[in-house]
């Protein structure tokens, strides 16, 4: 799968997510546009694979590294894209939703400043139905932050962390079960 607009140095294999039915693939490209980054959505139809969307953050800036992590729900309708370089490595995660006309950015998630971590968005996972997200913040000892999706959007519900040790990098990888 090759994006329709490959420009400059691109790391298309930085992050990848596949829907449960295998018909949607998302690839992160953190080096696009002065490392602002992008995520490319591909869909498999009756005639093969085609690029469905090129997603960028509405407030993207150089060095945000959008696409460092990606997570997709089982049905391929909900997508989280991590940008751990945003705001001097504080980080953010963007929630995109598939609509009849394509993909729409719905919300920007940021970690609780009290988490004691940075590089929020280094890893992301979504539950089967898209109601729960787990986001890794892998700097400064690290943490994993739990978000729940309600009628008014996503809200942080818990911070998970181990022994605070700058060498541990907790939150560098996360996963959720169905």
Please provide the distance, in angstroms rounded to a whole number, between the alpha carbons at the two ends of the chain.
28
pTM, full prediction: 0.91
Residue linked to tokens 């294999």: 13
Given CA atoms 85, 105, 81, 101 in this order, what sign does their dihedral have? Answer: negative
pLDDT digits (tens, 9 = 90+) for 15-26: 999 999 999 999
pLDDT tens-digit readout, 152-163? 999 999 988 876
- 96-115: pLDDT as tens digits: 999 987 999 999 998 775 55
């Amino acid at each position: 799968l090759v994006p329709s607009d490959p420009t400059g140095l691109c790391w298309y294999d930085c992050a990848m997510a596949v829907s449960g039915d295998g018909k949607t693939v998302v690839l992160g490209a953190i080096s696009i546009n002065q490392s602002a980054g992008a995520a490319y959505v591909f869909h498999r139809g009756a005639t093969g694979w085609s690029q469905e969307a090129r997603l960028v953050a509405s407030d993207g800036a150089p060095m945000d590294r959008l696409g460092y992590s990606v997570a997709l729900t089982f049905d391929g309708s909900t997508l989280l894209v991590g940008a751990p370089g945003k705001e001097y490595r504080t980080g953010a995660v963007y929630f995109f939703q598939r609509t009849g006309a394509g993909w729409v950015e719905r919300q920007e998630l940021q970690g609780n400043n009290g988490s004691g971590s940075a590089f929020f968005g280094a890893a992301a996972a979504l539950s089967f139905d898209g109601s729960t997200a787990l986001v890794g913040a892998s700097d400064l000892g690290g943490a994993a932050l739990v978000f729940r999706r309600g009628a008014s959007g996503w809200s942080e519900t818990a911070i998970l962390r181990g022994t605070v040790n700058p060498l541990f990098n907790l939150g560098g990888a996360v996963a959720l079960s169905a």
